[in-house]
Amino acid sequence: MLYTSAKKEKGTRRDEWVSELATVKADIEHARARFNMATEEELIDQCVYELNALQARYTYFLRLIKESEV
């Protein structure tokens, strides 16, 4: 019974990570759109920092998901 509960909990966490990954992917698309429309140097810099942070977050959740499959 304990094993089933732990397995279910692991699946629930994985589902949350998959959901978060989809959210971050959408955030990246929005940030890229803002980057493509930015004309001021400060706004371009801000978009680059935001894209880098979002990419790091995306990589983190992707790693968690892959590790949960093992």
Task: Render pLDDT for 16-34 as a digit per residue (tens, 0 to 9).
Answer: 999 999 999 999 999 999 9
Q: What is the pLDDT of residue 70?
A: 72
Q: What is the pLDDT of residue 4?
A: 53
Nearest to 66 by CA among 25, 17, 2, 12: 17
Which tops the pLDDT comparison, 2 or 23?
23
Q: What is the pLDDT of residue 8?
A: 62
pTM beyond 0.75 = yes
- Sorted by where each begins, the domain ranges of the chain are 2-68
Question: Are the CB atoms for 32 and 48 separated by under 8 Å?
Answer: no
